[in-house]
């Protein structure tokens, strides 16, 4: 009974949490009043817009997601230095751009969106398109000697972790 009431009140609990944190960051101060108001907003906004978000992921592991975010941030910094080096030192004639196709094991749209975003944010790869039934992701690589290695790296480093987060 209580569980159903809570689910009716908060259809997206993580969105509620996120909205409350965003509200506190916007206010630039942490006080009890602001926290309560943030939670009120966090309940009202998902409740009012629930009609436009009918589906929720079955499971979502917050702590694994936080660890994943830290890993991605580290990768962004390392990859940025690598790509800056490519821009400055590799002449255009020697640049080897490539398309790679990543067969997806993920099924949830939220997970595929996160994977595509991660691929674009790590410089040197841009996710360009999804196949018409959503089983593969098309990725453009700026410079690589071995496209298959890039594909395997993305699958083992990011997709496997996302699979754990949403399983």
With contacts defined by CB under 8 A, name the span among 9-17, 37-45, 49-57, 114-122 that binds other proteins. 114-122
Which of 53, 134, 146, 152 is the binder for other proteins (CB under 8 A)? Answer: 134
27 Cβ contact list (under 8 Å, min separation 6): 34
Query: Does residue number 45 form part of the binding site for other proteins (CB under 8 A)?
Result: no
Query: Does residue number 117 form part of the binding site for other proteins (CB under 8 A)?
Result: yes
Instruction: Look at residue 136 and give its three-state secondary structure.
Output: strand
First to last CA, the chain: 26
Query: Does residue number 136 form part of the binding site for other proteins (CB under 8 A)?
Result: yes
CA 33 from centroid of its chain's CA atoms: 31
83 Cβ contact list (under 8 Å, min separation 6): 123, 124, 142
Which of 15, 116, 150, 162 is the binder for other proteins (CB under 8 A)? Answer: 116
CA distances from 115 to 67, 81, 121, 127, 142 (A): 15, 21, 10, 9, 18
With contacts defined by CB under 8 A, name the span among 32-40, 54-62, 122-130, 150-158 that binds other proteins. 122-130
154 Cβ contact list (under 8 Å, min separation 6): 102, 119, 125, 139
- Shortest distance (Å) from residue 61 CB to other proteins: 20
Show the binding pattern over residues 65-104: x = contacts other proteins (CB under 8 A), - = does not. Answer: -----------xx--x--xx--xx---x--x-x-x-x-x-
The packing angle between helices 109-121 and 62-89, to 10°, is 30
Q: Which residues bind other proteins (CB under 8 A)?
A: 22, 25-26, 28, 76-77, 80, 83-84, 87-88, 92, 95, 97, 99, 101, 103, 116-117, 120-121, 123-124, 126-136, 138, 140, 142
């Amino acid at each position: 009974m209580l569980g159903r009431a809570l689910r009716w009140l908060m259809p997206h609990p993580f969105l509620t949490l996120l909205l409350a944190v965003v509200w506190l960051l916007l206010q630039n101060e942490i006080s009890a009043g602001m926290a309560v108001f943030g939670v009120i907003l966090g309940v009202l906004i998902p409740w009012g817009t629930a009609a436009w978000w009918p589906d929720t992921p079955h499971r979502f592991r917050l702590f694994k997601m936080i660890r994943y975010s830290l890993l991605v941030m580290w990768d962004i910094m390392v990859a940025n230095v690598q790509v800056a080096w490519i821009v400055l030192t590799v002449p255009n004639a020697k640049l080897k751009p490539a398309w790679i196709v990543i067969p997806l094991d993920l099924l949830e749209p939220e997970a595929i969106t996160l994977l595509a975003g991660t691929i674009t944010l790590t410089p040197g790869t841009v996710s360009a398109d999804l196949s018409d039934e959503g089983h593969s992701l098309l990725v453009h690589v700026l410079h690589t000697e071995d496209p298959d290695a890039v594909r395997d790296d993305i699958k083992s480093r990011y997709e496997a972790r996302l699979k754990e987060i949403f399983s």
